[in-house]
Every structure is written in structure tokens, then in C-alpha cells.
Amino acid sequence: MGVHAHRNLASMATSFLATRLMAFSLGNTPVIISSHPDTAKEILSGSSFSDRPINDTARLMMFDRAIGFSPSGPYWRHLRRIATNYMFCPKRVSSLEGLRQKVSDQMVVRVCKQMADAKVVAVRELLQKGSLSHMVESVFGGSLGNSQGEELGLMVKEGYDLIAKFNLGDYFGVGFLDFYGVKRRCHKLAMRVNDLVSQVIEERKREGGFIGRNDFLSFLLALPEEDQLSKTDMLSVLWEMIFRGTDTVAVLLEWIIARMVLHPDIQAKAQQEIDTCVGDQRHVRDSDIPNLPYLQAIVKEALRLHPPGPLLSWARLTVHDCHVGKFFVPAGTTAMVNMWAITHDPSIWKDPWAFKPERFIDEEISIMGSDLRLAPFGSGRRVCPGRVLGLAAVHLWLARFLHQFNWAPAQPVDLSECLRLSLEMKKPLVCRAIPRARS
């Protein structure tokens, strides 16, 4: 279905009167897909759908031992407990504010330099560099050299390309064949990741002094002996964090800035809110975000119109025969939720195609997974554990950008979509950033 699979599947479900549940097949793989909050909740929160389907690409890139893809069981529960109670708990996310501020300072400097040199800002490149820097330092601390950081960035970029490739063997039981060279490239990439991250882990072990450091690697190395992960498992977990954390934040912020350019009235209203709360004598802080409800509404509305994972495509797998509503679903079925279809359903959302942050001022709707009308990070036991960290970066960086610049078009803004690993803007955003007058 190409780069518009989310739209095409939504259209099919509507035409067949199958928004609650539609069944089809991908080669030999049976699939069900929900485009309705009620059946979506059954899938995402049901114990029958506790595993993730994993294809050759994800397995070869070492994700089968990471949090997202490892099968349900004692090992996965151990990872989940570490992630929820320690790595992404509010205290640890709060402790990384200094890093978020440092990265935002760097991005503001780059914006000013691009405007001085080229009179325009290449937003995607700016956000990808900032987001990668944020995740690399969150994971490894400041120990990575510039060359290692750049190499890791190239690996992430290649991984995005590979995981979005169509691999015939995933669907037709011919896994021993490698029609498009995807397996060969994945194997080479995994070796490079293994070499670089293993080197960093060994260097950190030699350094010692893990206690009191904020980065995730030091935390994992400081775990009690009975909770320690093997080096292979640790490598998979750290690589997954960088891989997924970099993509989602950058993609979402590019959509939001595009909307600010297209809706200067909404941009001005958000800036007025920030000015009233923060003034012009200091920068925005994490503690200001709860006092910026309109800014939070803008982020929610962008997640509604442009959900980064519109098919929640890191899907679920039935571990035994079950029912969804009145429908029988056999074990081994891949289950997906079309979150894009739900967030554009006129029976659920008034004027669903319009960008109206005010809808979230009028009604409080959680985006953390409890309300399936808008669950961009999933729901249930497989909800994204890093969502709090990602949203902390999105809110702070957006507030900094709006506080310091007016964002204006440099050329017509194209909102065409391209579904790869995430739902990206088809054409990278280029715009102007004019420093705001300070009193």
C-alpha cells in the first residue's frame, strides 16, 4: 500500500463497514486491524495480545532482546520493571532537564547561524541532530566522542531505511532468500552497532563510578548483581532507546513547527501564553510546562492529526485463540490499530481535519494510553515506556522555539505524508525563524 497505507486501510475499513475489525492477509500472515477505540482497547489491553510480531529485519538488528520486541515472560517483565521504575521514572526524567536545556541552546544557535548564512532554517536536519544528541547523551552520558556520535547517527539513519524496506521473506515463508539484500545489510549494520556500543560499555566498566551518574548505561551497570543484564541484552536495550527515541521526537516537532507556520494566529496565542508565564528575562523551564495548557494542547492536536506511528505498526501478536468483540481470532494473528483512522473519524472528533488545539482546552483527554480516542504511544502493557521522556523534550523545545522566534514560511508548506518507520512530512520543512523583539 506504499507510503499511504494508513489512509488506504482506513478507506477500506470504511467501505467494507469494518472499522471495528477488518481481517486480511499479508502473504501467509493473517492480520486484523481495528479503526475504532473500543476494539483497539481490547487488542492493546488484552492479555491475549501480549507479544509483538517480529520480522527478520527487527531480529537481525538485535531488537528481539529489547523492550519493544522481546516476548512476554520473565525476561520482558524484568526489562519493563527496570524501564518503568527506574530508567523512565519521573525523578530520572526530571534529572535530565539540564541536558534538554543544553540541546535546546545548541539548536537555537544553529537556527541563528542558518538564518545568518542561508536566510532559511532546514528544520528536519536541525531537529534530527538535536534529537540524536539528546538520546545519545541520555543513554551514554558525555563519554562519546564526536566521531562516535556521528557514526551512531549514520547507523540510526540506515536502520530507519532498512526497517521500512519491504522484505518478501517476512510474509511468504521464504526467509532463506534475500531478494533485496535487506538481510545482508541488516547483518552488517548489527555488527557495526555491536562493535561501537560494546566498546563504549567496556570503557565505562573500566572507568567505574556508576553511582550518581544520570545516563542509562551507568544505571544499568549499577544494578544489583541479580538484576544485571548480559552485555548482549544491554546492548539491545540501549540501541533500541537511541533508535526509537531519536525518530519520534524529531518527526513530531517538524509537524508542529509546520503547523505554527501555517497558523500564525495559533502561534501568536501560544507565544502570548509563554510570555505571560515566563517573561523575557529567562528561558522556559520544565516547571513552566504545567502552566502552559495551550502549548500542551498544540502538542496533543499535532499528535491527533499527525500520529508518529499511525498504524501502531510495532503491532501485537495473539498468543492463543481469543475473541475480539464477537469475532474469533486464532493464535498467531498479527493485530494492528489504525490510530490515524481513529483520530480522523468524524463520529469521534468534531471537524477532524482542522487544526484546533482549543478542542483539548474544552475537554481534558489523556494521551498516555488510557483514552483510545488518542493513544499515539500505544496502550496497555506494551505502551511505549519512553513516552514521558520524549514528551518532556517536545514540550520544552517547542516552548523555547516559540519564546525566541517567530516562525514564518520561506516557501509553501507541503503537508503531504510519507509513512516509513514513522509518519513523516514527505518534503522536509524549510522556513524562516525571526528573533522576537525583547523588551
What digits encode the pLDDT tens for the residues 180-222? Answer: 788 889 999 999 999 999 999 998 888 887 877 888 999 999 8
At residue 245 the predicted structure's pLDDT band, cuts being 50, 70 and 90, is confident
Distance, CA of 279 to CA of 81 (rounded, Å): 40
pLDDT in tens, 114-168: 999 999 999 999 999 999 999 999 999 876 777 888 899 899 999 888 887 766 6
Average pLDDT on 345-373 reads 95
Say yes or no to pLDDT of 78 above 70.
Answer: yes
| Cα distance between residue 219 and residue 93, in whole Å | 13
What does the pLDDT read at residue 170?
Answer: 64
pLDDT computed for residue 176 by the predictor: 61
CB of 361 closer than 8 Å to CB of 294: yes
409 forms beta bridges with 431
pLDDT tens across 380-394, in order? 989 999 999 999 999
Q: Got the DSSP string for 86-122?
A: IITSHHHHHHTHHHHHHHHHHHHHHHHHHHHHHSSEE
Q: What is the mean pLDDT of the chain?
A: 92
Q: Provide the grid cell at 1.
A: 500500500
Within 10 angstroms of residue 84's Cβ, the number of other Cβ atoms is 13
- Report how far residue 322's alpha carbon sits from residue 51's, in angstroms, rounded to the nearest whole number: 14
Q: Kindly report which listed range (7-21, 198-212, 239-253, 425-439) carries the lowest average pLDDT score.
A: 198-212
Q: Facing residues of 316 across strands?
A: 335
Which has the closest alpha carbon to 204: 227, 226, 231?
A: 231
Q: Give the whole-angstrom CA distance, residue 344 versus residue 337.
A: 13
Pick left, alpha or beta for residue 380 (phi over 0 → left; psi -120 to 50 → alpha; otherwise beta): left
Q: What is the pLDDT of residue 158?
A: 92
d(CA 427, CA 439) in angstroms, rounded, equals 36
pLDDT of 27:
82
- In degrees, rounded to 5, the angle at the alpha carbon of residue 85 between the alpha carbons of residues 138 and 196 is 35
pLDDT of residue 56: 81
pLDDT of amino acid 167? 64
Domain containing residue 153: 2-435
Question: From edge to edge, which strands make up the β-sheet containing 334-337?
Answer: 22-26, 29-34, 334-337, 316-317
Dist. CA 190–CA 239, nearest whole Å? 10
pLDDT score for 63: 87
Q: How many residues are recorded in the chain? A: 439
Over range 301-314, report the average pLDDT.
88
Kindly tell me if the per-residue pLDDT of 1 is higher than 90: no
Measured distance CA(51)–CA(69) in Å, rounded: 8
> How buried is 146 (Cβ within 10 angstroms: 0-12 exposed, 13-18 middle, 19+ buried)?
exposed
**pLDDT score for 174:** 58
Query: What is the pairing mode between strands 29-34 and 316-317?
Result: unpaired
Number of domains in the chain: 1
148 Cβ contact list (under 8 Å, min separation 6):
196, 200
CATH of the domain at 305: 1.10.630.10
Does pTM surpass 0.85?
yes
